Amino acid sequence: MSALGVLAPRIGPEIAPGDPWTETVEDRPMAPALKSGNFGSETFFEDAFGMLP
């Protein structure tokens, strides 16, 4: 997140246990989905995109 210039992410809804959507509070809006190697299924990113409005 620091490489993207994100200083204070806001935690959003859970995509999978232990892996939430995040949202930036800086001027450049982003909504990164961060995945730990130990959590989430093989379809994690498909599931995450399916949650977008």
Instruction: Map 1-53 to HEC letters.
Output: CHHHCCCCCEEEEEEECCEEEEECCCCCCCCCECCCCCCCCCCHHHHHHHCCC
pTM over 0.85: no
Dihedral-angle region of residue 18 (phi above 0 means left; psi in -120 to 50 means alpha; beta otherwise): left
Q: Report residue 12 as tokens.
A: 């959003």
pLDDT in tens, 2-22: 888 888 899 999 998 888 899
pLDDT at 39 over 70: no
Domain boundaries, the chain: 2-38
What is the residue whose two structure tokens read 């959590």? Answer: 39
Once rounded to an integer, what is the mean pLDDT over residues 23-50? 85
Q: Report residue 4 as tokens.
A: 């993207």
